[in-house]
Structure 1
Amino acid sequence: MADLPGGASWRETRRRELLTFARRSVRPEGGFVWLDASGRPEPGKGLELWINARMTYVFALSALLGESDDLRLADHGVRTLRTLLHDDDHGGWFDAAGLDGSVPDTTKRCYGHAHVVMAAATAASAGAEGGQELLAEALEVHGTRFWDDTAGRCREELSRDWSLVDPYRGANSNMHTVEAYQIAADVTGDQVWRDRALSICAGIIDRNAREQGWRIPEHFDAAWVPLPGYNEDRPADPFRPYGATPGHAFEWSRLLLQQAAGMLEPPVWIEEAAEALFQQAVADAVEPDRAGLVYTTDWAGLPSVRERFHWVMGEAVLAAEALSSRTNRPGHAAWARRWWSEIDEHFIDDANGSWRHELSPDLAPSSRTWTGRPDAYHAFNALTLPGLPLFPSPSAAAGDARPRGQEPGR
């Protein structure tokens, strides 16, 4: 009998197809481009930092998993991050660069820099050329410019020369920082990064999300006071939407379990929070009469943006798989089976080999928020991580790269 959606051989087949599509993003002159649904460069798009960092991560992890030819693509990504998107005058990275080398916006943002840390750590683990040097700089920049030791969380935006700090604070960039810091800790053996990841989780999840009934506040002022009405007039914003984002609750749930797995004595609230976030996201995002999961809700849990995004599905199955593995409680595996089936039926594009990034509430292709197929990161993780332990992080686990003397929790 053929392997069911979500099974090991099914995921391996789909991962190979996804990588074939993703390799079309390589730009010979440097960088990875934003692809359209057919795998061609999206017109009018330059080089995005988050896409280039994510694709570097994907190809580096693919190399660690045995796709040796992808190491050269990881090399390609490292070179791009050290040149085309790098600020040689002030350090750090620009959010984007035109194909002509122009830089339309010089603001430095935590979100993109967190992805550079993730990419650099994975590339270094894979042995990519320049990976260690990129990792050293990325950790130095992120750890000194964005990390706020007083708040125990990260600043969001700074001016090019680092002299001005924007008052906005965001949960999304801090969530990706948790992921990046976990990987950095496992690749380097320096536990300060995992300690900082725990601090972020404690502030945003154990404090803010708990106070909000496990719907995560996404937007804050400079004092980390939640801004519940932020972007109410822009509910479908791709990076700062109004309201609660169930997909992020699933993502945080998995990251919390990864955090606990890497600690000898994890705080008791971590597993409680991981389960509570998952259950609230299920209650808010699942619509009983149709497949997929809504993008955002208001603070009462009513759908705000009902489009279905591929990354939400990917994070949902990862959270379900992680909870099933970590807790052995009933129910999680059933959700994973349901969502894998929906991914197989509605999101995977058999003709092109990628995942459809956005569907309408009626499950037709949509571009309200996203156009094309910008990157492979969420889909690649969904197809890869269920086959790896929660600790160490995949970038270390895949290459058996845990530093000597670093022991798992449980």
Structure 2
Amino acid sequence: MGETLPALMVPVSSWLRRGPHQRWLDMQGQRLLDFYRPARVPDGFAALNDCGNLQPGAVSDATLGARMTHVHAVATGRGLPGCGPLAAHGVASLLGPLADHENGGWFLAPPTDEQQHGGGRKQAYLHAFVVLAASSATVAGVKGARRLLDKALAVWERHFWSEDEGVFRESFAADWSDEEDYRGANANMHSVEACMAVADVTGDPLWRNRAVRVAERFIHTLARDAGYSLPEHYSRDWRMLKDYNRDRPTDALRPYGMTPGHFTEWAHLLLKLEAALLRADGRAPSWLMEDAIELFHSGMTAGWARDGAPGLLYTIDWNHDPMVHNRPHWCQAEAMTAAAALLKRTGHRRYEQWYRTLWDYIDTFMIDRRRGGWIQELDRDNRPSAVVYEGKADLYHAWQATMTPLLPLAPSFATAVALLENHGTIPDPARDTTDS
């Protein structure tokens, strides 16, 4: 891919501007795509083990499948052979066996004969990724993708969006009864990502405005009031649940305490949202950049090398003391992505240093050159571990980490790739938005 940086301020010496570094990123991304080819199963996609193989009796996972569909749809837009059929397979599985054809929405896993609703509750987290997958597949022209997007947006609008609160509701029973007494930052964070993608695909600014409302509540209000820490667990009446999952500190989606990796992930999304708003009409709230900077530094201070070894740890307690010292791969990927975004936005050398430091860490400890893919989790001594995540299920975070440094902050992922591949540049009335 050619030069796509949105900011003239990025130093000439930056890795982001160097051809060999760009080619290295592209090579790493294609290695990841090759590693995950065996994840396809009849009803979608399933998790791989450490060696890149399916376990006996592997079952389709809808969240993983939606993420795989998104990745392969974007890769299809780049013209990478073999990715189109995988994206089409993902769309077909989301329209077919993973969909609830009686009540609407999606199951976490296909129902079995013994279990009418095989996936249990209808989760906001999953539905955000279904929307993201459908929007990316629509951009790539995948068969059935627009129909999937229309269905997903109807469900999202009817059941999950809370207009009064300006956030997405968390979960329901399969028949949409029994709304969970919970409001969570994690599902809403990924909903912000999906909202920006939908706004670009449909041209409807409503979704971008909703992303602002979500960010304003969780970050500009709750996180800022907490000194740019990010408590993630709340009741439906917005009481912070400080003891939530105290007995499950290694929960993969809702761990006890706070997750520094999410501080940095939000930082990246805030900068993308700012760029999207500036690209749309030349205006964006100043707090988006201010909060992104504060969140990134708060997350790296709280989580990086806190126990003497490099790496961003999983969770901290309310005093910012380490809780779970293990280093998930996605935390490193999101911190690196945020550093790249801040470098593009500000041109400041501190973010260049973080960008290099994080890639050096990932290359040294996480890229598995013997078996392929990335090791999903390391312990406090940077040895392979499986306390939080087993095997190598996740392509989404690692692959996006190899792509986002090559792309501008706006438009969203699939739209940016399509414009670049088709036109060689992104038509943008506010191209130098980072200088605004």
TM-score tier after normalising by the smaller chain length: over 0.9
Counterpart residue identity of residue 389, structure 1? P
Please give the alpha-carbon distance, in whole angstroms, between the structure 1 residues aligned to 2:419 and 2:385. 40
Match of 2:415 in 1: 396
* 1:183-240 deviation per Cα after TM superposition (whole angstroms, max 9, x unaligned): 1111111111100000000000000001111111110000122212211121111010
Measured after TM superposition, the shift of residue 338 of structure 1 is 0.5
The residue number in structure 1 matching 2:322 is 303
For the pair 1:175 / 2:189, whether they are aligned, the reply is: yes
Instruction: Report if the CA contact (8 A) 1:187-1:395 is conserved.
Output: no
**Aligned equivalent of 1:93:** 106
**1:350 maps onto 2:369 in alignment:** yes
* 2:240 counterpart (214, 226, 232): 226
1:278 is matched with: 296
Which AA in structure 1 matches 2:67? R
Please point out which of 122, 128, 148 is paired with 1:108.
122
**8 Å CA contact retained: 2:43, 2:60:** no
Match in the other structure for 2:86: 73
Q: CA deviation at 1:165?
A: 1.1
CA distance in 2, matches of 1:408, 1:93: 38
Give the match for residue 5 of structure 2. Answer: none
Q: Deviations over 1:148-179 (max 9, x none)?
A: 00000011011222132111111100000000
Q: Which of 356-365 and 225-234 deviates more?
A: 225-234
Q: Do 2:107 and 2:118's aligned partners in 1 also have CA atoms closer than 8 Å?
A: no
Counterpart for residue 265 of structure 1 = 283
1:59-96 deviation digits (Å, cap 9, x = unpaired): 00111122142111100000000111100001100112
Task: Give runs of aligned pairs for residues 183-332 of structure 1, distance below 5 A.
Answer: 183-263=197-277, 264-287=282-305, 289-332=308-351
1:30 maps to which residue? 43
Change (3 A) 1:5 1:85: farther
TM-score normalized with structure 1 length:
0.95
Identify which of 371, 381, 394 aligns with 1:362. 381
**CA distance in 2 between partners of 1:352 and 1:15 (Å):** 15
Q: Distance in 2 between matches of 1:406 and 1:145?
A: 34
Aligned residues of 2:70 and 2:134 also touching (Cα < 8 A): yes
The answer to whether the 8 A contact 1:6-1:340 is kept is no
Distance 2:429 2:236 in 1: 37
Give the residue type in structure 2 aligned to 1:249.
F
Instruction: Tell me which amino acid in the other structure corresponds to 2:368.
Output: D
* Residues in 2 aligned to 1:408 and 1:233: alpha-carbon distance in whole angstroms: 49
Q: Does 1:154 align with 2:172?
A: no
Q: Which amino acid aligns with 2:335?
A: A
Q: CA deviation at 1:99?
A: 7.8
Partner of 2:4 in structure 1? none
* Letter paired with 1:327: T
Partner of 2:28: 14
Question: Tell me, which stretches of 5 or more residues in structure 1 are unaligned?
Answer: none
The residue type equivalent to 1:166 in the other structure is E
Equivalent residue number for residue 135 of structure 1: 149
Q: What SS does the aligned partner of 1:235 have?
A: coil
- Inter-partner Cα distance in structure 1 for 2:237 and 2:108: 25
Q: 1:23: how far off?
A: 1.0
Give 1:268 deviation, angstroms.
Answer: 1.1
User: One-letter code of the match for 2:61?
Assistant: E
Sort the Cα spacing of 1:95 and 1:11 in 2 relative to 1 into closer, same or farther, 3 A.
same
Q: Distance in 2 between matches of 1:12 and 1:408?
A: 27
CA distance in 2, matches of 1:19, 1:101: 35
User: How many corresponding residue pairs?
Assistant: 406
Question: After alignment, is 111-120 or 350-359 more displaced?
Answer: 350-359
Give per-residue Cα distances to partners, 1:309-355, cap 9 Å, x unaligned: 10001000000000000122230110110010010010000122200
Distance 1:78 1:301 in 2: 41
Task: Pick closer, same or farther for the CA change 1:347–1:224 going to 2, 3 Å.
Answer: same
Distance 1:294 1:17, change over 3 A: same
Matched, 1:334 2:353: yes
SS state of the match for residue 102, structure 2? coil
How far apart in 2 are the matches of 1:362 and 1:5? 33
One-letter amino acid matched to 1:390: L
Shift of 1:395: 0.9
Distance in 1 separating the partners of 2:52 and 2:114: 23
Q: Extract unaligned runs of 5+ from structure 2.
A: 1-14
Contact residue 261 and residue 390 of structure 1 kept, 8 A:
yes
Change in CA separation of 1:233 and 1:63 when aligned onto 2, cut-off 3 Å: same
Query: Residues 369-393 of structure 1: CA distance to partner in whole angstroms, max 9, x if unpaired?
Result: 1110112000010000110111000
